[in-house]
Structure 1
Amino acid sequence: MMRSAHSPRRDRLRATAAALLLSALALTSCGSGGNDDLAQRASNDGSNFIAGDGSVQEFGPENRGESVAFESETFEGEQITPETFQGEVTVINFWYAACAPCRVEAPDLEEIHQEFEPEGVQFYGVNTRDTQATAEAFERNFGITYPSMEDRSGTVLMSMTDYVHPSAVPTTLVLDRQGRVSARISGIVEPGTLRALINTALEEV
């Protein structure tokens, strides 16, 4: 009798505990899933966006590949060839106007560009989606003074798939004086990290 009298109560307690546990797991899942959803919706059109994870990878001189070999043109009409990247350290940032992380890092990139320009460091953007008018509006809004290449055709991006995931924007590359990728930042640039990577490339003989 005791057993049958208390069994429903125990069952209710167990059910309540199980429900609370499931709720906690659901909230945890919604938290991480919500962040993922925000990343996926970071572009205004909500399509084909993968947020970089903020990871940084450096490549020692002995582990670098060939010099970058693409040709392109900036929105201002400057011709970009493999020779563009010879003799100077270069930063290349892949971006587009509706990319939320791109908007976050834009002021820092311009500040670092201004800081290192006297040392001959080149900055180029690669715009993967926008028309010239849209790209120029973004640049005016954020005070960007370095040039960007128009790459809606994906020519530059596809030539750099060893370093840049076709959907992972922003990605920032540092090239050494031989035009080889010496470092990659996947996701939003952390200013101190980018400065350190540029200085490392500048200090190489």
Structure 2
Amino acid sequence: MREVRLWMMAIALLTISVPIQSVAQESTQDFVQRVTQAARLQHTLSADIVLTWKTSAGTKTSTGTVRLMKPNYAFVKLAGDYPLHVLVSDGTVRYLVPDDKSYTQESIDPRGEKIDTPWWGFPYRFFFTQSLNPFGASVDPSEHLDSVSGESVDGQQFRVLLVHGTGPMGEYGARFFFDKDVLARSIVQFGAGTKAGVFEAKLSNIRVNAPSSAAYFHFVPAAGQKSTSITAGMLSIGEKAPDFTLPTPEGERLALSTQRRGKKATLINFWYFNCAPCRIEFPEFEKLYEQYRAQGFTIVAVNRGDSAKTVVDYARRAGLSFPLVLGGEPGKSNVFANYKSTEAFPQTYLLDADGRIVYRTAGMDIDGLKRALQQFGFR
């Protein structure tokens, strides 16, 4: 936790911020209640956005525009390093456009909780959910509200809320910059040293409660653009899942055929440590494992490229009890090629008692997984 507090001090210096004098006395809890209520009353929001993420691999940036309308309409257009060009929610369907040739679509949450791509696009997720959890719409019970203060950054005045907690990426600290009760900027850091990651979303030219209509959020594919499933390229439903034998982080060997013997359903998940969605869904996997393991359900999570120590330490912190194995790097291990899991993470397959695939997804779909498990009679 000391490291989290140190990075907060460092970012405070990096933003070249200075305290604003004569800030009205207001408790942190009162401030949060006020900005949360203000966000509930914001019917529309439009702005320019800059998304930046800094990791050991370097710094990447995307820029674009955001237009939002309650309860779940969105149009996010980006250009740059992040592999998303457009996100559109027309109130019923969410469309994701990764390139000029294709797009995917899925049902949208009625409260806008799925408008969260990329995950650190926190200002526009907050517009819909009013959640201060950097990693999702649900409340983070570990999150602590540290302080709120007035600051001036590059000549602009903000009220800045500092929080810290333990999320799917480990301990994190966050700074939320509010301009007239509108969340205009967020900075989230997890990890420390060479493994630290800093993710920033910054809005400018913000307009709130400007007139808008559902017609603006109608999605029209570009010429030649085709709809593809998020599971395109994965193994097919009904296909027999390839067997594998891989090392565990503790130095033993685990065979899929042995693990699923006598089981009604087996979940295979492909993940890696710095994949935020992977670690966001792991607590949900653990709940399902604890709930259904006695009924014949098991999980095998295949890690890509992380060290045994990284996986063991993470599993211990996250309280994971289901089996994890080390898949190594793609190209050096056949398991990723055999499951066609070389780029998109997380990927999940659900197998029946015969080892045939009955459900699959690329990305998070806990609700879909639960529905698939119910078809096996798990209650």
TM over 0.5: yes
Residues matched between the structures, number: 165
- Counterpart check, 1:27 vs 2:27: no
8 Å contact kept, 1:54–1:189 = no
8 Å contact kept, 2:271–2:346 = yes
CA distance in 1, matches of 2:79, 2:281: 24
Q: Identify the residue that residue 335 of structure 2 maps to in structure 1.
A: 156
Unmatched runs of 5 consecutive residues or more in structure 2: 1-47, 49-63, 67-74, 85-116, 121-168, 170-194, 198-227
CA distance in 2, matches of 1:95, 1:103: 8
CA distance in 2, matches of 1:83, 1:30: 46
2:280 counterpart (90, 94, 104) = 104
Displacement of 1:181 after TM fit?
Answer: 1.2
Specify which structure has the bigger relative contact order, considering alpha-carbon pairs within 8 angstroms and separated by 6 or more residues.
1
Unmatched runs of 5 consecutive residues or more in structure 1: 1-22, 47-52
CA distance in 2, matches of 1:99, 1:45: 13
CA distance in 2, matches of 1:187, 1:107: 15
Displacement of 1:81 after TM fit?
Answer: 4.3
Instruction: Tell me: CA distance 1:55–1:116, structure 2 relative to 1, closer, same or farther (3 Å).
Output: farther
Report the 3-state secondary structure (helix = DSSP H, G, I; strand = E; otherwise coil) of the residue aligned with 1:33.
Answer: strand
Displacement of 1:73 after TM fit?
Answer: 2.9
Instruction: Tell me: CA distance 1:54–1:168, structure 2 relative to 1, closer, same or farther (3 Å).
Output: same
Displacement of 1:148 after TM fit?
Answer: 0.9
Report the 3-state secondary structure (helix = DSSP H, G, I; strand = E; otherwise coil) of the residue aligned with 1:110.
Answer: helix
Instruction: Tell me: CA distance 1:56–1:119, structure 2 relative to 1, closer, same or farther (3 Å).
Output: farther
Q: Identify the residue that residue 79 of structure 1 maps to in structure 2.
A: 254
Displacement of 1:119 after TM fit?
Answer: 0.6
- TM-score, with length taken from structure 1: 0.66
**Which has more radius of gyration?**
1
Coordinate RMSD, CA, aligned: 3.6
Which runs of structure 2 are paired with 1:44-193 in the superposition (5 Å)? Answer: 55=230, 64-76=238-250, 77-88=252-263, 89-152=265-328, 153-161=332-340, 165-190=341-366, 192-193=367-368
More helix, by proportion:
1
8 Å contact kept, 1:56–1:183 = no
- TM-score, with length taken from structure 2: 0.38
Aligned identity (percent) is 24
2:369 counterpart (194, 200, 204) = 194
Instruction: Tell me: CA distance 1:129–1:45, structure 2 relative to 1, closer, same or farther (3 Å).
Output: farther
